[in-house]
Amino acid sequence: MFMKFTEGAFWVVGSLLTAFFLGSLGLSELQRQQDIAAFKAMRPVMLAYTPPAELPPLVTAVEEPFVIDYIVEDPDKSLWSTGRIASFAESLGKETSDVLGILEIPRLELEVPLYNGASDLHMDRGIARIEGTAMPDESGNMGIAGHRDGYFRVLKDIKFGDEMIVSSSAGLKRYRVEQLMIVEPSAVEVLDPTDDTSITLVTCYPFYFVGHAPQRFIVRAVLQDDSLITGG
């Protein structure tokens, strides 16, 4: 009788813990979508334009702008570690910076909010601009950090030539991947200012290393000449 009572008690406690965990994940995803929605509400109208062949490659204005709509879906966490999923859920209700923008890598089906400042909270919730690097509305090199066992795990499949899109209050910018590097953590020169407008994604490496990963995986993407830059 005692054993049956004990088994029943464990079953009830386990069910309650499972329900609590799943509920936390749902609420944290709602918070993520609210963060992105808040950004979209404050940004100006953004433009998208494919120039005719006879025009110069750099286009700075169009006659009929239109609003770019984003479809926000539950992120695919199938590649995420259980610890990162839990950290994502725990970030619910904590105060973050305003969303600076949205980073998209279409081929990898990644859409993630970009926060200001590479804190644990910001990287649990999304990805983060590294302090001291360019802002989305500035030229130069914008460093972006993310966790290898969360949103940035898809970078294991990144390829040369892949497109990246950064949407911010400054407008929409399209980038193309030109460099992939594996470096030591001390190689901070990857974040140095650049003459061109670029973004540098930084995450730990190897992607599935157990414990503190010893290296960094770097993705450098450069603004395309046919990218439409608006706002300012």
Instruction: Kindly report, residue by residue over 128-161, the tens digit of the pLDDT.
Output: 999 999 999 999 999 999 999 999 999 999 999 9
Listed in sequence order, the residues at least 6 apart from 188 whose beta carbon sits closer than 8 Å to its beta carbon are none
Looking at domain 2-223, what is its CATH homologous superfamily? Sortase (2.40.260.10)
What's this model's pTM, rounded to 2 decimal places? 0.71
The CA distance from 202 to 219, in Å, is 7
- 98 — pLDDT class (breaks 50, 70, 90): confident
The amino acid at 209: F
Give 167 or 69, the one with higher predicted confidence: 167
pLDDT of residue 65: 37
Q: What b-and-e string marks burial along 16-54, b requiring 16 or more CB atoms within 10 Å of the CB? A: eeeeeeeebbeebbebbeebbeebbeebeebbbbeeeee
The CA distance from 76 to 110, in Å, is 9
CA distances from 135 to 28, 54, 149, 194 (A): 27, 32, 25, 13
Q: Please state whether 71 falls in left (phi above 0), alpha (psi between -120 and 50) or beta.
A: beta
Task: Tell me, rounded to whole angstroms, the distance of Cα 145 from its chain centroid.
Answer: 8
3-state class of 164 per DSSP? strand
| Burial class of residue 108, CB neighbours in 10 A (0-12, 13-18, 19+) | middle
Stretch among 41-45, 76-80, 184-188 having the lowest mean pLDDT: 41-45
Tokens describing residue 105: 């890598």
In the block, tokens 């909270």 appear at 121
